[in-house]
Amino acid sequence: MTDLPDFARYVVIGAGIHGLSTAWHLATGLAARGGSGSDVVVLDKAEPGAGASGIACGVIRNNYFQPAMRALMSHSVSVWESDPKSFAYHPVGYLQISPEVMHDDVAAIHAEQQAIGYPSTFIEGADESRWYLQSIFPDWQARGITSVLHEHRGGYANNRASVRGLVEKAEAAGVRIVPGARVTHVPRDGDRVTAVETTAGTIRCESVVVAVGPWIRDLWRLLDLPETISVLGRDGSTYRRPMWTYWSLQEGTLAVDPSFLTDSAGAMPPVVHVDTDAPLYDDEGALVTDKLWGIYFKPDFNFGGVQGGAMPFVVDRPTDEVAVDPYGPASPDFVVGAEFARMWTAGLAHCLKRFEGKSSYFSQEPSGGIGCFTPDSFPVFDTFRENVYVVADSNHGYKMIGVGDLVAKELLGDPQPLLEPFRFSRYAAGRLHPVSHSPFPWS
């Protein structure tokens, strides 16, 4: 940590996963070119990991219906694997457990994972899926399951510990980190940002990286960028959409010993994500939902229990849209506020008999928070104004630690094909990412 200097070649706003990863890789890239990591300064309005990265569930997966996201996540998983100890990374794997309505989507994911060399096993059929899952969890009992995609890489990481690991790597590379510096203004000369004004003072700069997670709308406004944009839909119509929509991320912890969720060998199991259209009932036998629903969960000593979540819901959406976009995200109509605990604990018991009667163990451990989503719910990585690189993760953030590596390369003049599908221009051009049948807007 350091005081605010007068000048830096690169100012990174945000000391979460993206900001710190970008700063670390940028510093090492500069050093390799004969420069200095001290040319990189990271600003944060509080401290590293104080925002979304510090309460992230920490799931790391490749399970995406969108080819561009799969390729991006394969790269990020490699970064997690490069130093599991520093990143507090647990490579336990990941299970995507699905109903028949999602079969073709998940089969396509598996086929394309094989094409890019990402190891996974695909199990098809209701009986075959049940036998496979019961070989991992003898008390598996979920209904309506006809396929299992088992990713053998991936897993989860401990949120604040991984942030500390990135801080250590960045500072070792010469990066200066300034906490308590809330950005208040970004002066420009024409279309070029010349400085960043903060509550801790002003720093002049050559380039700015904005990596602030759910606070992106505030920085977007400081840059005088558009609140609403035109999106060319798949039906050929143009829609006026809000650039940012906020969703409540439904996550929590069951306060049992993490070892309560072990596999048949007594070891830590893969992260479990189950989607199903089987009716869901709570401990009292009352119907929770008869629509497609999904949850994810894992044992996590960092959270002190079994931790996971369910589908999010919209909490902030402007109402001045010109038309209703059929390709925009839909708000779930049954997971709202206090209902999350009921739904998630019922989902755990639906999956594993060991969780029956355990709903009273639900904890209020901070997790999830608020996510800021783009018009198509996928990231934007692009340059705005003349010298401001925006990393807008659209709540895919924590798992994508490798984005910082790619952004740093682009800042140093090396365009990255993995980032090309996430340019801002895709909206006006209609180059939208494909939509799956998952109840989650980010799958």
Query: 50-64, 252-266, 267-281, 285-299: lowest mean pLDDT where?
Result: 50-64
User: What local confidence, expressed as pLDDT, does residue 247 receive?
Assistant: 82
pLDDT band at 335 (very low <50, low <70, confident <90, very high): very low
C-alpha to C-alpha distance for 332 and 105, rounded to whole angstroms? 20
Mean pLDDT on 354-373 = 81
User: What local confidence, expressed as pLDDT, does residue 365 receive?
Assistant: 61
Is the pTM of the predicted complex or chain greater than 0.85? yes
User: What local confidence, expressed as pLDDT, does residue 321 receive?
Assistant: 36
User: What local confidence, expressed as pLDDT, does residue 319 receive?
Assistant: 39
Q: Is the dihedral of CA 101, 105, 109, 111 positive or negative?
A: positive
CB-facing half-sphere around the CA of 411: CA atoms within 13 A: 34
Q: Are 376 and 327 in contact (CB under 8 A)?
A: yes
User: What local confidence, expressed as pLDDT, does residue 316 receive?
Assistant: 58
C-alpha to C-alpha distance for 331 and 322, rounded to whole angstroms? 19
Closest-CA residue to 94 (of 144, 47, 155, 39): 155
Q: Are 242 and 78 in contact (CB under 8 A)?
A: no
Closest-CA residue to 185 (of 173, 159, 203, 172): 203
User: What local confidence, expressed as pLDDT, does residue 324 receive?
Assistant: 32
pLDDT for residue 56 is more than 90 = no
User: Strand 293-300 vs strand 305-310: parallel, antiparallel, or unpaired?
Assistant: antiparallel
Closest-CA residue to 177 (of 190, 168, 165, 187): 168
User: What local confidence, expressed as pLDDT, does residue 154 receive?
Assistant: 96
pLDDT digits (tens, 9 = 90+) for 155-179: 999 999 999 999 999 999 999 999 9
pLDDT for residue 440 is more than 70 = no
pLDDT for residue 320 is more than 70 = no
The domain ranges of the chain are 7-429
pLDDT for residue 443 is more than 80 = no
pLDDT for residue 333 is more than 50 = no
- Residue 132 in tokens: 């496979």
Please name the residues in contact with 45: beta carbons below 8 A apart, sequence gap of 6 or more: 180, 181, 182, 183, 199, 215
pLDDT digits (tens, 9 = 90+) for 214-248: 999 999 999 999 999 999 988 899 999 999 998 87
Q: Are 30 and 177 in contact (CB under 8 A)?
A: no
pLDDT band at 330 (very low <50, low <70, confident <90, very high): very low
The architecture in CATH of the region 7-429 reads: 3-Layer(bba) Sandwich (3.50)
C-alpha to C-alpha distance for 57 and 14, rounded to whole angstroms? 19
User: What local confidence, expressed as pLDDT, does residue 256 receive?
Assistant: 93
User: What local confidence, expressed as pLDDT, does residue 46 receive?
Assistant: 94
pLDDT digits (tens, 9 = 90+) for 257-274: 989 999 999 999 999 999
pLDDT band at 277 (very low <50, low <70, confident <90, very high): very high
